[in-house]
């Protein structure tokens, strides 16, 4: 419906009031009747910025991931919320910094080496979207708890088909320390096949099922274990890489084949979206939990460091959003955000209001071609870890504009970098720029204090 209004100089006050009343009644109805998009969030594990070919010349070929960028918006300056798995996932699903929801470190199957406890009182994105009428599903890796109250079905997902734990000892046996963590909801399952193929096929099937319920929008969180080590590409994929690049070292060739096999699975998922007629009204996001692992020959582009590091090689991740109904194809953004900004973005598109004060900021203005709607904010990162190297302590990092302060392990001094002048973080300015150093160190302490109010160990019974 279109309400036409004459210029204000041609209307009497009573007429103006009547027309404003009509608008007040009509516009909410129009907004409510507008279709809400579906959400498909593809989240990979330890995926380096340089292991997606759309970002520049690369020895890896990812045509299906690249397609998401070509048909949507490619982000060049996004960072994960952490340098390891659990903190990034906890932040993504809550819109809060990881230590504020009790997950500053990796949640592991061995309680003596587990450094997080996902606060069950904090609503998740799945809770929010489920309450807004969405069907919610997680296919793939969870890694935020192995039992009550922190299983996917208890944290907002109506459907779970995947792996509860942190990493698989093998992609074909799906065990971790000999234990089976593969589930369909609460049922223990024994699927056969490579985990990447299983998750891709389950996701494609799920999309076809959702197409049979066109009146209900959906949120599918597709979280692959790949390309997390062990680097186990199927033999035929490794053979193809070695045939085209015989000079490539074995370690790198295995990783390239692993990523290309993953990309093919994503291609099958996108094809299911197309074939089901869901693509136009579905927001598709591709991103990762942290940078790639350098010891496993993964590529983080030009950035220093990798997984586990607070240097940008551990934090910069591929990030792209496709939504044919709402995003211009072939667009790019250098907006420096964090992956958990998807929380308020999805909430806004779904017409939902988060219950908590979020640390995340909506990307909607950016997706529409503008700038972020809020003032610049600090980007905060934390990692807690055990072993002799870390001793159960934490280390943190903070980005404020072009400046970055970090400690890459709990026992080293803080370092300071100017990212615009030194994007590869090679010149530590802590000794020469003391005023800026003290300013950012104080901001970092504030975040550490906030995070300290949330327990990161399960309460004793």
Q: Is 143 a catalytic residue?
A: yes
| Nearest residue to 367 (alpha-carbon basis) of 340, 337, 344, 333 | 333
Q: What is the DSSP string of 264-298?
A: HHHHHHHHHHHHTT-STTEEEEEEESS---GGGT-
* DSSP H or E segment with residue 195: helix 195-210
Among the options 85, 97, 261, 310, which is catalytic?
A: 85
Task: For residue range 270-282, list pLDDT tens digits in order.
Answer: 999 999 999 999 9
**Tokens, residue 421:** 């002048």
Q: What is the rounded distance in angstroms from the CA atom of residue 98 to the CA atom of residue 197?
A: 30
Confidence of residue 24 (pLDDT cuts 50, 70, 90): very low
Among the options 143, 206, 335, 447, which is catalytic?
A: 143
Give residue 371's pLDDT. Answer: 83
Q: Report, in angstroms and rounded to the nearest whole number, the Rg of the chain calculated over CA atoms.
A: 23
| Top-level class of domain 379-451 | alpha beta
Backbone angles phi, psi at 398, to 5 degrees: -150, 135
* DSSP H or E segment with residue 332: strand 331-333
Per DSSP, 319 falls in state E
Q: What is the rounded distance in angstroms from the CA atom of residue 448 to the CA atom of residue 384?
A: 12
Helix pair angle (85-94, 342-350), 10° resolution: 30
Confidence of residue 460 (pLDDT cuts 50, 70, 90): confident
Q: Is 85 a catalytic residue?
A: yes
Q: What is the rounded distance in angstroms from the CA atom of residue 156 to the CA atom of residue 125?
A: 8
**Tokens, residue 228:** 């997390």
Q: What is the rounded distance in angstroms from the CA atom of residue 381 to the CA atom of residue 406?
A: 9
Q: What is the rounded distance in angstroms from the CA atom of residue 377 to the CA atom of residue 338?
A: 11
Adjacent-strand bridge partners of 206: none
- Do 38-367 and 379-451 share a fold? no
Give residue 12's pLDDT. Answer: 42
Parse the chain into domains and list their residue ranges. 38-367, 379-451
Q: What is the percent of the chain with per-residue pLDDT over 70, rounded to a whole number? A: 92
| Nearest residue to 55 (alpha-carbon basis) of 245, 253, 285, 301 | 301
Task: For residue range 363-375, list pLDDT tens digits in order.
Answer: 999 999 988 877 8
Structural domain 38-367, CATH architecture: 3-Layer(aba) Sandwich (3.40)
What is the average per-residue pLDDT within 256-274?
98
Give residue 10's pLDDT. Answer: 38
Confidence of residue 34 (pLDDT cuts 50, 70, 90): low
Would the pLDDT of 252 be above 90?
Answer: yes
Cis peptide before 149 (omega within 30 of 0): yes
Task: For residue range 83-134, list pLDDT tens digits in order.
Answer: 999 999 999 999 999 999 999 999 999 999 999 999 999 999 999 999 999 9
Task: For residue range 201-245, list pLDDT tens digits in order.
Answer: 999 999 999 999 989 999 999 999 999 999 999 999 999 999 999
Confidence of residue 15 (pLDDT cuts 50, 70, 90): very low
What is the average per-residue pLDDT within 420-445?
98
């Amino acid at each position: 419906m279109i309400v036409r209004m004459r210029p204000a100089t041609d209307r009497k006050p009573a007429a103006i009031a009547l027309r404003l009343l009509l608008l007040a009644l009509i516009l909410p109805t129009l907004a409510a009747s507008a279709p809400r998009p579906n959400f498909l969030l593809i989240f990979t594990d330890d995926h380096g910025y340089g292991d997606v070919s759309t970002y520049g010349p690369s020895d890896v070929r990812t045509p299906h991931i690249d397609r998401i960028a070509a048909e949507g918006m490619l982000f060049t300056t996004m960072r994960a919320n952490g340098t390891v798995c659990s903190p990034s996932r906890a932040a993504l699903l809550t819109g809060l910094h990881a230590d504020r929801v009790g997950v500053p470190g990796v949640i592991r199957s061995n309680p003596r080496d587990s450094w997080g406890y996902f606060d069950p009182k904090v609503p998740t994105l799945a809770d929010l979207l489920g309450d807004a009428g969405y069907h919610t599903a997680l296919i793939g890796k969870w890694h935020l708890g192995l039992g009550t109250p922190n299983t996917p079905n208890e944290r907002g997902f109506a459907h779970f088909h995947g792996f509860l734990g942190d990493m698989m000892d093998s992609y074909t046996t799906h065990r971790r320390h000999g234990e089976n963590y593969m589930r369909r909801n609460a049922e223990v399952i024994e699927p056969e096949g490579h985990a990447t193929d299983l998750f891709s096929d389950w996701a494609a099937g799920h999309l076809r099922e959702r197409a049979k319920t066109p009146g209900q929008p959906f949120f599918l969180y597709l979280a692959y274990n790949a390309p997390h080590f062990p680097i186990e590409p199927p033999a035929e994929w490794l053979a193809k890489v070695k045939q085209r690049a015989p000079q490539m070292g074995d370690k790198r060739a295995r990783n390239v084949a692993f990523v290309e096999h993953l990309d093919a699975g994503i291609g099958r998922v996108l094809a299911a979206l197309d074939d089901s007629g869901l693509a136009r009204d579905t927001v598709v996001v591709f991103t990762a939990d942290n940078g790639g692992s350098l010891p496993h020959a993964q590529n983080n582009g030009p950035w220093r460091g990798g997984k586990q590091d607070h240097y940008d090689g551990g934090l910069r991740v591929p990030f792209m959003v496709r939504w044919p109904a709402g995003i211009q194809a072939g667009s790019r953004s250098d907006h420096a955000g964090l992956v958990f900004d998807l929380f308020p973005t999805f909430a806004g598109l779904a017409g939902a209001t988060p219950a908590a004060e979020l640390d995340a900021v909506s990307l909607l203005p950016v997706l529409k071609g503008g700038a972020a709607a809020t003032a610049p904010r600090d980007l905060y990162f934390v990692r807690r870890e055990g072993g002799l190297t870390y001793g159960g302590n934490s280390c943190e990092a903070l980005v404020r504009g072009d400046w970055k302060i970090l400690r890459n392990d709990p026992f080293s001094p803080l370092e300071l970098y100017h990212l615009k002048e030194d994007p590869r973080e090679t010149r530590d300015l802590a000794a020469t720029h003391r005023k800026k150093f003290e300013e950012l160190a104080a901001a970092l302490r504030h975040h550490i204090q906030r995070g300290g109010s949330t327990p990161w160990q399960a309460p004793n019974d």
